[in-house]
Amino acid sequence: MLRQRLIRLALALGIGLGPALASARPLDPLTPDEIRAAGRIARMDARLATAQFASILLNEPAKAAVLDWRTGQLLARQARLIAMTPATVFEVVADLTAGRILSVVERKGLEPPVMASEFEAAKIVLTNPDFRTALSRRGITDLGKIFCSPITAGYFAIPEHAGKRVVKVGCYDLRRTTTNMWGWPIERLYAIVDLRERKVLSVADAGLVPIADVEQNFTEAAAGALRPARRPTTMLQAQGANFTVTGNEISWGHWRFHARVDARVGTVISVARWQDGNTLRPVL
């Protein structure tokens, strides 16, 4: 509780988290408070005052610093942010301990992942006359029953796409949807959209394909007859588990290692060691 109060006070005063609030281990994932602090620090740069952050992750310390670290030792915490402005993309490194920006680098020619806020922008295709005509040819006139999804279009060195945030937008028929919004794709109809300018660049209609006339909702009724119930599987550890988890540190048999879940790459295993007699031997 005291730690959380100190963090909230630091945020309110606009200062860093301070070395005393460093995470227990140098490779622990960022806490919610650290993520909020990282965004606040990044916005100290006037170019990023209204930026959207596609990613805020731990900026891992140098390998030597991690290996030299001992329990209770303080190690500055850093975050790496991917910030998107209306014009370009920046990669930012923020020092959470000192509450300052370490670097801001513009990444020209690169784009961050599609963000949740941009799904709404994909609806711009429904205002395009060519796209609406193509929907009408498929018998779709109620645009309130359409869901459109932006998909990263890839890079193909197309000159007119240079400098644009281009996605490929396809739509789905929601008229029969209760639990599965992806069940009825409107096939062979796509639009290329620049998300920055909120503009349809082109529409591709490769011909009519009937929308699936089958039940695609994920309900027990839609599934129909169910297979016979399987015999139950039971896992029993009568004397307790063979592993222990302390924060992000895991002990399993002779193994000791650190684990965290990274939003970009998934599970990260690090500082793996093996109890070799009286020596805890580094393996990874």
**pLDDT digit string, tens, across residues 202-251:** 999 999 999 999 889 988 887 788 889 999 999 899 999 999 999 999 99
Q: What percent of the chain has pLDDT over 90?
A: 70
- Close Cβ partners of 116 (under 8 Å, ≥ 6 residues apart): none
Q: Output the pLDDT for position 22.
A: 45
Q: Which domains does the chain have, with CATH numbers?
A: 2-106 (3.10.450.40), 117-212 (3.10.450.40), 243-282 (no CATH)
| pLDDT number for residue 79 | 98
Residue 10 has pLDDT above 50, yes or no: no
The token pair at 139 is: 């018998």
Asked if 187 and 137 count as a contact pair (C-beta separation under 8 A), the reply is no
- The confidence score (pLDDT) of residue 3 equals 43
- pLDDT of 165 higher than 70: yes
pLDDT for res 162? 86
Calculate mean pLDDT across residues 96-100: 96
Q: How would residue 199 be classed by pLDDT, with cut points 50, 70 and 90? A: very high
Which pLDDT belongs to residue 53?
Answer: 97
